Chain A
Amino acid sequence: MGPAMRRLLLTGGALLGVALTGCSSPASREAMAPPDLVVSQQHRHSLRVQASGGAETSGLDSSNIADADLKAAIEDAVIRSKLFQSIVQGDDGDYELHVQVVSLRRPLIGGTLNVELETGWSLVRRTDRAVLLRKSIRSTGTASMAEAFAFVTRLRLAVETAARDSIRQGLMAIADLNL
């Protein structure tokens, strides 16, 4: 191998290493909210949303779902679809929705990335603490090299797709309830 080719390979390898291992970013709240959710019925009540089990994303970590972002994405989808009349914060509201991130399975390497997400959804009526919904929701997200070249971006897209599907399934299930 000539010196010019060796230089080219070394430089290319270095740049590729840096590009492919760039900093991770968390799933974005805007991308996790399903934009076009049509629900079977709209409830004339107020809702308080809580999220748990998620994690922040550090630069060296893989994409995670933060509790605050999941909560915001669910609230946004509820408001857009008018599933509930209003969203309230603090210890108020007619109903309490709690969404728990149970597991988020992400690949460590790969071209087309497949992510598996499980969330637990529970809906409680505040007045008598009646549990109206307890449901495990499993969803998947896929992102290919055509969508993003950098691994960290591809992984974030797959996580956001899985979260969006999870929120869609959860809110559809709540829409089917007679509150």
Chain B
Amino acid sequence: MNKTIKVLALLGLIATLTTGCAVNRATGSVDPSTNLAALKTMYVKKIPDDDNTHALIADKLRSKGITVTSGVEPAPSGVDAVVTYIDKWMWDITMYMLELTITLRDPKTDFPMATGNSYHTSLTRLSPKEMVDEVVDNIYKGAK
């Protein structure tokens, strides 16, 4: 009887712990009314508490030939897109980025012209730079 209970308890523990393991997701899409190639200047709107994600996004976009500035203030006039992002972090031995969503928005209307998302749980975690690379590359892959 005692053995059965221990096995049950172990199964419950395994079920609880493994539900966070090895889920991978990466998507990117561009609204058909948007010409991504025409967006040459962008402003990355920094989240006040963010340390470095905004800088990684800006660097990645610069590598695609885009002129990028960033800051916490409202976007300057004249930019083609405002870049917003949501990064979700988790702890498992060390902190890691669980999920990242990046959105390119129309500066005048806030309309989401393109968006990308990556989600990797602990066992298949990526570095913040790899997460940014994956999301931005998926957005540009989605461009027609």
Q: A: which residues have CB within 8 A of B? A: 7, 10-11, 13-18, 20-21, 50, 52-55, 58, 60-61, 64, 96, 98, 100-103, 105, 118, 120, 122, 124, 131, 134-136
Contacts and interface: CB of A to CB of B under 8 A. Distances in A.
Contacts, number: 99
B29 A52 contact: yes
A100 B19 contact: no
B31 A120 contact: yes
Contacts of A135: 109, 111
A17 B111 contact: no
22 contacts: A10-B6, A11-B9, A14-B13, A15-B8, A16-B12, A17-B12, A18-B12, A18-B15, A20-B16, A55-B25, A55-B27, A60-B20, A61-B25, A61-B119, A96-B32, A100-B112, A103-B101, A122-B33, A124-B32, A134-B106, A136-B111, A136-B112
Interface string B1-31: 1100110111111011011111101010101
A16 B15 CA distance: 10
A96 B6 CA distance: 58
Given A10-B6, A54-B27, A120-B112, 9 more contacts: A14-B12, A15-B8, A17-B15, A18-B11, A18-B12, A55-B25, A58-B23, A100-B112, A102-B103
B11 A98 contact: no
A64 B16 CA distance: 20
B110 interface: yes
Contacts of A122: 31-33, 111
Contacts of A134: 31, 33, 106, 109, 111
Contacts of B32: 50, 96, 98, 122, 124
